[in-house]
Amino acid sequence: MLYISENIQKVKEEIEEVRKRSLTGEPVELITVTKTFDVPIIEQAIDAGIKIIGENKVQELTSKIEQLNDKVIYHMIGNLQSNKVKYIYQDVALIHSLDRLSLAKEIEKRGKSTDDIVHCLVQVNIGKEKTKGGLYREEVLPFVEKMMEFPHIQIDGIMTVAPNTEDIKYLRSCFRNMVSLKEEIEREKFDRINMQYLSMGMSHDFEIAIEEGANMVRIGSKIFGNRDYSK
Ligand SMILES: *Cc1c(COP(=O)(O)O)cnc(C)c1O
């Protein structure tokens, strides 16, 4: 199954090409999204050089962590129920989906209990879509400020899942809106808040996302092919 390593190579080259012409020229971190794909396939991707995998369901994530251990770094990228924080907070390097106070309280409680700092991105629903998680743009700054009260949460940036649209102009405006939000938060110079990551861009839109300033992209189907959710 050579195709996986070929796809990874191709994705990496495309990322690099876009990065060079992007507004910031910053390095871009690739998060390989492995949801629905089995461990042997993920192992091929690891052999092909990927360093970080993203999963969106707690049970699937913990099962993969059990099997793959420290062969790779794990990110939680999907909606996270508060009662499941305990299963993952010590094993993931980054949670991309912090989007509400109740979840922050639970993460803080768990982090405090074991003296761990939990790294998180604040998820933003930049297109204000009913079906999507994340805070609305105008809610983000006060939320980030509130996080100062939680010493076991480290905010490392913001994340979004952009609207799935053919309207490239609108899509680009959404990504720009994320960049300006990141800059607004940076200007506040909050203690302990380190706006280093802007996680946006997936298989179908990562090029535009990087052009506008994403430095973390989450790519699944472009590497592994289409997902089969019926399994
Ligand atoms: C599935 C998923 C991705 C990857 O989507 P692809 O279109 O397969 O690249 C990225 N981010 C999140 C939050 C996801 O759930």
Q: Is 118 in the pocket of ligand 1 (CB under 6 A)?
A: no
Mean of pLDDT values over 189-215: 95
Indicate if ligand 1 lies below 6 Å from the C-beta of 75: no
Q: What share of the chain is helix, strand, coil (3-state, %, to 5)?
A: 45, 20, 35
Q: What is the pLDDT of residues 40-75, one digit of tens each?
A: 999 999 999 999 999 999 999 999 999 999 999 999
Instruction: Look at residue 231 in the predicted model and tell me its pLDDT.
Output: 60
- Residue 229 confidence class, pLDDT cut points 50, 70, 90: confident
Q: Measured from the CA of 97, which atom of ligand 1 is nearest?
A: 13
Q: Does the beta carbon of 33 sit less than 6 angstroms from any atom of ligand 1?
A: yes
pLDDT value for 1: 56
% of the chain surpassing 90 pLDDT: 93
Residues 149-188 have pLDDT tens digits of 999 999 999 999 999 999 999 999 999 999 999 999 999 9
Computed over every residue of the chain, the mean pLDDT equals 96
Protein fold of 2-224:
TIM Barrel (3.20.20)
Ligand 1 center from residue 15 Cα (angstroms): 16
Per the CB < 8 A criterion, the answer to whether 58 and 84 are in contact is yes
Half-sphere exposure of 51 (CA within 13 A, CB side): 6
> How do residues 113-157 score in pLDDT, each as one tens digit?
999 999 999 999 999 999 999 999 999 999 999 999 999 999 999
Q: Per-residue confidence at 18, pLDDT binned at 50, 70, 90?
A: very high
Which atom of ligand 1 is nearest to 221's Cα? 8
- 202 CA closest ligand 1 atom index: 9
Pocket test of ligand 1: the residue of 7, 30, 33 to mutate, having most ligand atoms within 8 Å of its CB, is 33
Q: Which helix (H) or strand (E) covers residue 158, if one does?
A: strand 153-160
Ligand 1 pocket check for 218: Cβ under 6 Å: yes
Query: What's the confidence (pLDDT) of residue 8?
Result: 98
User: Which ligand 1 atom sits closest to the C-alpha of 227?
Assistant: 8
Residue 108 has pLDDT above 60, yes or no: yes
Ligand 1 pocket, residue 216 CB under 6 Å: no
Ligand 1 mean position to 154 CA, how many Å?
Answer: 23
Looking at residue 22, what is its pLDDT?
A: 87
* Whether pLDDT at 203 is above 90: yes
